[in-house]
Structure 1
Amino acid sequence: MILHIKNMVCDRCIMVVRQQLENTGLNVGEVSLGSAEVQPSPDSEQLNLISSQLKLLGFELLDNEKDRMVERIKNLIVEKVHYSDLTDAHLNFSQYLSDGLKKDYAYLSRMFSDAEDMTIEKFIIQQKIEKVKELLEYGELNLNEITWKMGYSSSAHLSAQFKSVTGLTPSQFKSSGQGQRGAIDKI
């Protein structure tokens, strides 16, 4: 049985979910962002236990198809923005999502907007800005290198988008040193 789980955004999440499921006595197969394969299929009592244990850790079992699809959209975006290379300036997120989910982008966009009260594009921008904040805090790359790494057409475009989301320019953010990053799963 495949369990669909909300708020899994990193390898640590995968590890924690795996451990929690193993603690319930289930055989755990593949665990990836947003899902976990378990054997045998848990009964309703076990599902309630799993659900309550996962909730304590900030996760949530998803039980309807719409919620699962929205979570899969989020997971694909998070995976691409935070754990892949965006240097290909020709990355088309709408095509990437359509191909990855085997659904029409207009359908995915409507479903996402209805469920999240924001567009997919806005979610992508927020994720990219969080990644830019992380890169600025590390201080290993300059703004031009971050621009290239994140697939922006110019540092002016990145700066304008950064300021519209955060209210600060990238240099103001970096010099403030206040660590104003947000949690990926809270966006």
Structure 2
Amino acid sequence: MQKTTVLYPRNMICSCCFVVIRQLLEKEGATILNIKPGEVEIMYDPLLHNKEFYSELLAAHGFEPIFSREHQIVEKIKLAVIELVHKAGNVNSMIRNSDYLVERLGLSYAYLTNLFSRYEHITLEKFIILHKIEKVKELIEYDEYTLSEIAVQLGYSSVQYLSAQFRQVTGISVTEYKKGGYSRTPVDLIGPQSVPAHPKKE
């Protein structure tokens, strides 16, 4: 008799993660019934493995399980911010961050901000800013848009506001960053430990 269960792995932030998780689980006999950011529903043979086995398998590859409901909500907030800032194109300029998160998660913004701060030791507003600045870095490096276009795309009221926030977060100016030689922070590592822009190691 096959059993079904739902796993809640951390760090499911991109399509590559979906591929890796699918390969790991299917290799060990699980059938993927549904997979989406932060959640995987599987069917498996309990005579071969149990839920704990699959959770530990994912944890060993950087996808630690999330057990409590509040932790699951925090992870969904992080995934929603990543989706809005890094994947939604010009949507960020057309909808307020708070409205987007409330619509996605079905919870009040006040509840989401309080919960996020409690578990992540950084305000939700600061977390969003860090992601926006990292997206600015990416777009600068692509060199496909002017700084004015980047400001519009990410919902900044002016280039001056974007530039000031960029310096505040990274410790350098946009002009300095454009000269090259600085490292970016991987999306899944953006948070309270994020450091200012620093030169790439040779």
The answer as to 2:185 corresponding to 1:182 is yes
Select the residue among 160, 163, 166 that pairs with 2:170.
166
Select the residue among 31, 34, 38 that pairs with 1:34.
38
The answer as to 2:74 corresponding to 1:70 is yes
Give the letter aligned to residue 181 of structure 1: R
Select the residue among 125, 128, 137 that pairs with 1:124.
128
Separation of aligned partners in 2, 1:139 and 1:41: 51
- Are the equivalent residues in 1 in contact too, given 2:84–2:91 (CA < 8 A)? no
- Are the equivalent residues in 2 in contact too, given 1:87–1:148 (CA < 8 A)? no
- Write out per-residue CA displacement over residues 14-38 of structure 1, whole angstroms, 9 at most, x where no aligned residue: 1111111111211102222211111
Q: Secondary structure at the match of 1:16?
A: helix
Separation of aligned partners in 2, 1:122 and 1:8: 21
Identity of aligned residues (%): 40
Separation of aligned partners in 1, 2:14 and 2:182: 20
Counterpart in 1 of 2:141?
137
Separation of aligned partners in 2, 1:139 and 1:34: 32
Please state how far the C-alpha of 1:74 moved relative to its aligned partner.
0.5
- Are the equivalent residues in 2 in contact too, given 1:89–1:153 (CA < 8 A)? no
- The total of aligned residue pairs comes to 185
Q: With structure 2 as the length reference, what TM-score do the two structures score? A: 0.84
Q: With structure 1 as the length reference, what TM-score do the two structures score? A: 0.91
Q: Secondary structure at the match of 1:97?
A: helix
Counterpart in 2 of 1:59?
63
- Write out per-residue CA displacement over residues 136-174 of structure 1, whole angstroms, 9 at most, x where no aligned residue: 111222211211221211111111111111011112112
Gaps of 5+ in 2: 191-202
- Are the equivalent residues in 1 in contact too, given 2:30–2:42 (CA < 8 A)? yes
Counterpart in 2 of 1:81?
85
Please state how far the C-alpha of 1:56 moved relative to its aligned partner.
3.2
Q: Secondary structure at the match of 1:38?
A: strand
Select the residue among 155, 158, 167 that pairs with 2:159.
155
The alignment's C-alpha RMSD in Å is: 1.9
The answer as to 2:12 corresponding to 1:8 is yes
Q: Secondary structure at the match of 2:116?
A: helix
Please state how far the C-alpha of 1:2 moved relative to its aligned partner.
2.2
Give the letter aligned to residue 73 of structure 1: I
Separation of aligned partners in 2, 1:158 and 1:42: 54
User: Taking CA–CA contacts closer than 8 Å with sequence separation of 6 or more, which of the two structures ends up with the larger relative contact order?
Assistant: 1
Separation of aligned partners in 2, 1:25 and 1:37: 14
Separation of aligned partners in 2, 1:5 and 1:102: 21
Separation of aligned partners in 2, 1:185 and 1:6: 10
